[in-house]
Amino acid sequence: MTKQVRQLDRVVIRFAGDSGDGMQLTGDRFTSETAQLGNDISTLPNFPAEIRAPAGTLPGVSSFQVHFADYDILTPGDAPNVLVAMNPAALKANLVDLPRGADIIVNTDEFTKRNLAKVGYAANPLEDGSLDGYAVHPVGLTSMTVGALAEHDVSKKDAERAKNMFALGLLSWMYSRPYESTIRFLERKFAARPELVTANIAAFKAGWNFGETTEDFSVRYEVKPAKMPPGTYRNITGNAALALGIIAAGVRSKLPVFLGAYPITPASDILHELSKHKRFGITTMQAEDEIAAIGAALGAAYGGSLGITTTSGPGVALKGETISLAVALELPLVVVDVQRAGPSTGMPTKTEQADLNMALFGRHGEAPVAVIAPRSPSDCFHAAIEAARIALTHRTPVILLSDNYVANGSEPWLLPDVDSLPDLRVEFATQPNGEDGSTFLPYLRDPRTLARPWAIPGTPGLEHRIGGLEKADKTGDISYDPANHDFMVRTRAARIEAIEVPDLEVEDPDGDARVLVLGWGSTYGPIGAACRALRQRGQSVAQAHLRHLAPMPRNVGEVLRRYDRVVIPEMNLGQLANVIRARFLVDAIPYNQVRGLPFTAAELETMLEEVVKNA
């Protein structure tokens, strides 16, 4: 039969199943196929912290949402157009997000009495009419996969496990995705077990062919490539981009890189990635704890490496004392905090922006550091380079605030020209700098940056001692002098303020906005999408997004005062809003949510519309 092909401009698909069903992999493959086609993409993985939560239960549901379009998009989408539900739990957990009319593809084999009871379904939702408003496609994903693999030399268990490839094949057919990259991927993944390569490919093709032949799917969709700037692209997650940014910073600074890290969700992938790239002169050390991880990174920095430690909020809390030591020693150090929902263990696989206060203020004594935050997955690459630039040039710890949303989300990334990346080379001290020509003054400062010389062990004639005790200006000798301490505390603050950062840019295409939305970090996408939607409906709203939280761009106060109202949406209880209010005396309106999930563009749009109306 000939199938109708319908053009769409955008689609949101959510793959949902049990933690063990391979939904992250399925979503990832669909994303990769979609990227090949040239659509713009944004993804949102959502999974429990438990590796294998009890099978078939609500807490065990893992999902992956992908939004793709023929224009540039900013978020993974608020509501799915299509839900793939591998079991009753996946249906129940995700139905609430589905608008009426959405397609639901369910694996009917899993809708047994027992599985339904497990999640509290009294009756089978596929039969009781409760899904009447949706386009439900019942498919025996497991049985059809097992049937398709009957002739293959694989166990029943392995055959059943290939059902995610059947689902991927079906969805790939529905949305006309090119599948060559998935075939290549399967060949790589199962290289050691050729029978699984053929079985998984067969399952994929069975899903594809099922779509083509069944009458249940009468329409096939196409989403044309997006108009994007020319160049070579790849799809990238924030954690992968951050790791590449660190490698790039090593290459551009011509310094060895040392990463000290302790495994912690959601930052561990950066350690995994960097440990693969020793050929770039990168040493990775899985330390005995978070404190040793930063300690070793600081020790390496003292010896002339680009020292980095990666962690999440609980780890930053443990590293606080060493960050303060780095402030006192005035050595370069990059601390990456991939934020997750807290306090304490909180929700390790869910996102939040609640470590801003800790990054800005969470140390004993007056211990200012630079703080920056990437706005999107691919921006993590450039943010890592910027963090390294500030650390190396200004000899200071820099905290980079990523979060779970950008770390695990993905988007297409226009690959940069390596030669266009900033030159991060620094000069180590080689000569005495005292007026007598023979003395070395470890705390004599560069008049512009206020940075002290980086004199690494091994340099003859510059032997000196540094430590956590207060140091006399210039000589670095231990000093308890009141005036010296006052001077050094103020100088350490001035050093951070002396860091040059680009001005805050404002996007106000209509030019007559009276309301400014100010954000930082990963909220860029939802805020941007909400502003666009408002503008399309004729409302004016301005958007500005802070990348540098410390020091802030010099024009922030001036920008804020241009608008009647300033709204600050954050995934915390108003941490940036408090800073803005305290520092600029601007009556900013905080808009806060701490649900472990990113804002939806729709909720921000509703909120902003209200503010614009009353401005």
Partner 1 sequence: MPEPVALKLTAKDFKSDQEVRWCPGCGDYAILAAVQSFMPELNIPRERIVFVSGIGCSSRFPYYMNTYGMHSIHGRAPAIATGLSATRPDLSVWVVTGDGDALSIGGNHLIHALRRNVNLKILLFNNRIYGLTKGQYSPTSELGKITKSTPAGSADSPFNPLSLALGAEATFVGRTIDSDRKHLQSVLRAAAEHNGSAFVEIYQNCNIFNDGAFDELKDPGTRDDYLIRLEHGQPITFGKDGQFCVVHPPGGFGLEVRETAMVSPEEIVVHDAGVAEPAYAFALSRLPGLDLRNTPIGVFRNVSRPSYDDLVQSQLEAAKAKVTGTPEDQLAGLLSSGDTWTII
Q: Which residues bind partner 1 (CB under 8 A)?
A: 32, 35-36, 38, 181, 225, 228-235, 244, 247-248, 251, 254, 256, 258, 260, 277-281, 283, 285, 287-289, 291-292, 295-305, 307, 321-322, 325, 329, 415-416, 418-419, 457-469, 477-478
Report the distance separating Cα 143 and Cα 302, nearest Å: 61
Report the distance separating Cα 196 and Cα 153, nearest Å: 9
415 or 585: CB nearest partner 1: 415
Give the bridge partners for 8, in sequence order.
Answer: 223
Closest CA to 64 of 23, 4, 104: 23
302 or 405: CB nearest partner 1: 302
What phi-psi label fits residue 216: left (phi over 0), alpha (psi between -120 and 50 degrees) or beta? alpha
Closest contact distance (angstroms) between CB of 611 and partner 1 is 37
Collapse the DSSP code of 480 into the 3-class scheme (helix H, G, I; strand E, B; otherwise coil) and give the result.
coil
458 or 482: CB nearest partner 1: 458
Residue 449: partners with Cβ closer than 8 Å, 6 or more residues away: 393, 394, 495, 498, 499
Closest CA to 390 of 283, 497, 282, 481: 497
Pairing mode, if any, of strands 589-592 and 565-570? parallel
54 or 457: CB nearest partner 1: 457
77 or 250: CB nearest partner 1: 250
72 or 160: CB nearest partner 1: 72
Closest contact distance (angstroms) between CB of 248 and partner 1 is 6
Closest contact distance (angstroms) between CB of 81 and partner 1 is 24
What phi-psi label fits residue 197: left (phi over 0), alpha (psi between -120 and 50 degrees) or beta? alpha
Closest CA to 427 of 249, 253, 250: 253
What single-letter amino acid sits at 519?
Answer: G
Closest contact distance (angstroms) between CB of 429 and partner 1 is 12
Whole-number CA gyration radius for the chain: 27
Collapse the DSSP code of 182 into the 3-class scheme (helix H, G, I; strand E, B; otherwise coil) and give the result.
helix
User: Edge-to-edge strands of the sheet including 506-507?
Assistant: 506-507, 542-546, 515-520, 565-570, 589-592
* 519 in Cβ contact with 546 (< 8 Å): yes
32 or 572: CB nearest partner 1: 32
381 or 591: CB nearest partner 1: 381
* Cα–Cα distances in angstroms (integers) from residue 571 to residues 18, 65, 521, 606, in the given order: 27, 20, 10, 17
100 or 364: CB nearest partner 1: 364
Query: Cβ atoms within 10 A of the Cβ of 481, count?
Result: 12
304 or 368: CB nearest partner 1: 304
Report the distance separating Cα 604 and Cα 154, nearest Å: 50
Closest contact distance (angstroms) between CB of 9 and partner 1 is 18
Closest contact distance (angstroms) between CB of 434 and partner 1 is 13
Residue 356: partners with Cβ closer than 8 Å, 6 or more residues away: 371, 401, 520, 549, 570, 572, 575, 576, 579
What single-letter amino acid sits at 186?
Answer: L
64 or 233: CB nearest partner 1: 233
Closest contact distance (angstroms) between CB of 292 and partner 1 is 4
Closest contact distance (angstroms) between CB of 312 and partner 1 is 19
- DSSP character at residue 375: S
Maximum separation of any 2 CA atoms in the chain, in Å: 92
Q: Which helix (H) or strand (E) element contains residue 41?
A: strand 40-46
Closest contact distance (angstroms) between CB of 172 and partner 1 is 15
288 or 481: CB nearest partner 1: 288
41 or 159: CB nearest partner 1: 41
* 239 in Cβ contact with 408 (< 8 Å): yes
Whether the upstream peptide bond of residue 460 has omega within 30° of 0, thus cis, is no
Residue 419: partners with Cβ closer than 8 Å, 6 or more residues away: none
Closest contact distance (angstroms) between CB of 587 and partner 1 is 41
Report the distance separating Cα 27 and Cα 196, nearest Å: 20
Tokens linked to 409? 């989300």
